[in-house]
Amino acid sequence: MQRYLVGGAVRDRLLGLPVKDRDWVVIGATPARMLALGYTPVGKDFPVFLHPQTHEEHALARTERKTAPGYKGFVFHADANVTLEQDLARRDLTINAIAEAEDGSLIDPFDGQGDLHAGLLRHVSAAFVEDPVRILRVARFSARFTGFRLAPETAELLRSMVKAGEVDALVPERVWQEFSRGLMEARPSRMIEMLRDCGALARLLPTLAPVCNGEALASLDQAASANAMLPVRLAILLQAAVPRASGSIVGDTTGIEAACARLKVPADCRDLAVMTGRERDRMQLQTELAPAQALALLERCDALRKPERFRQMLEAFGWLPSFAHHQPLLTRWQRIQVIACDVDAGAVAKVVRHEHPDQPLRINRAVRDARIAAITAIAAHPDAEMVVKNQ
């Protein structure tokens, strides 16, 4: 029985990057042997065990055979006779098919080290086409390793997989898992561009693919460089699916909603993207608001109950080119939200109950009036682009 460090841990160490997770492949062992050594079984589809002390994953060496379309259409074979080279051969990219023995020596049958030095994302074998998730993984790696380029033969394989309909077999949850991870990489635009170039973006997000331009991708990368959170990054990307204002100040979020539905995007990301699209043009065009109108916008965005989401919307606006000359406006909205949220609704309610004990319906009106009064106070300091009219 021998074990080898494999995958991202080896790759990242060779690239001089921090190693987060260490995964091992075990040669010459059986499940019974692993259990006897105190390992804990955790694998569902194939034998994977947790080390009794380190809790690092140890998978028995295996081969796989394609039996049906999609990423689940595989039969796995794992036993003590599967070699290390056979296990490495089933991996996606050469840079992920390097193993490290416990003495530090490297086993690299597909010249992954050469591709690391050359900055090349290259598939290991023709079996690459059997797993459509690899389209998303390669695109994600492109977003992470910004100095790497896609090998021409691998690019051709991606296109052939899309044409063969393999990408259509992916379930939304699996797509979102990879897509969201790609959005959180250093240059998420590279993932979008790769998916667009191979045709996968049009199949996965048909409402976004035709309108996703360089301007939108540049904004996305700028937000990534500032370590923006996932909901903000998605909201920025999906603004490309909102038509420019034409007579209405309410953004048409049909494209955003369709994209989120196709990927079953979590509610926090979906709601921010939709709200950002809906309010984008209104924020730019209505730069002169009465205090009551300003409060109505906060209420419409649920900014008093969910202040962080409202701040994330303003953050997303800040990265859009259309807001380049509206930064003071965004700053003013931050102040308005803080002032409105600072109104002590409980204290106001206590006063109303004391003065009008038989009129509980006055409470909501009184709280709202207190917030409007607080917002009105900003009118005395018109030091920003938006003017809150004192009326």
pLDDT at 81 (0 to 100): 87
Range of the domain at 43: 1-119
121 vs 97: CA distance, rounded Å = 12
83 vs 25: CA distance, rounded Å = 10
Output the CA–CA distances (angstroms, integers) from residue 254 to 240, 241, 259, 275, in the order listed: 12, 8, 9, 12
List, as one string, the DSSP characters of 16-51: TPPP---EEEEES--HHHHHHTT-EE--SSS-EEE-
pLDDT at 391 (0 to 100): 38
Helix (H, G, I), strand (E, B) or coil at 63: strand
356 vs 363: CA distance, rounded Å = 9
Q: What is the CATH number of the domain that holds 15?
A: 3.30.460.10
Identify the DSSP state of 19: P
Predicted TM-score of the model (pTM): 0.87
294 vs 374: CA distance, rounded Å = 11
For the chain, the residue count is 391
- Whether 26 is covered by a domain: the verdict is yes
- Whether 388 is covered by a domain: the verdict is no
Q: Look at the alpha carbons of 53, 54, 56, 59 in this order and tell me if their dihedral is positive or negative.
A: negative
- Whether 262 is covered by a domain: the verdict is no
CB 174 within 8 A of CB 134: no
Output the CA–CA distances (angstroms, integers) from residue 30 to 2, 46, 76, 90, in the order listed: 12, 12, 14, 20
pLDDT at 389 (0 to 100): 46
Q: Which residue has the tokens 């020596």?
A: 105
- Whether 278 is covered by a domain: the verdict is no
- Whether 240 is covered by a domain: the verdict is no
| Residues in the chain, pLDDT under 70 | 65-75, 245-249, 358-361, 379-391
181 Cα distance to chain centroid:
5
CB 334 within 8 A of CB 314: yes
Name the token pair of 255.
């494209």
Q: How many distinct structural domains can be found in the chain?
A: 1
Contacts of 234 (CB under 8 A, 6+ apart): 180, 183, 265, 269, 272, 273
- Whether 242 is covered by a domain: the verdict is no
- Paired sense of beta strands 387-388 and 288-289, if any: parallel
pLDDT at 250 (0 to 100): 76
CB 57 within 8 A of CB 24: yes
Taking Cα atoms as reference points, which of 294, 286, 287, 274 lies closest to residue 234?
Answer: 274
pLDDT at 3 (0 to 100): 95
- Whether 171 is covered by a domain: the verdict is no
Cβ-count burial 106-130 (b if 16+ within 10 Å, e if not): ebbebbbbebbeeebbbbbeebbbb
Where is 154: in which H helix or E strand?
helix 152-163
Contacts of 284 (CB under 8 A, 6+ apart): 322, 323, 326, 329
- Whether 222 is covered by a domain: the verdict is no
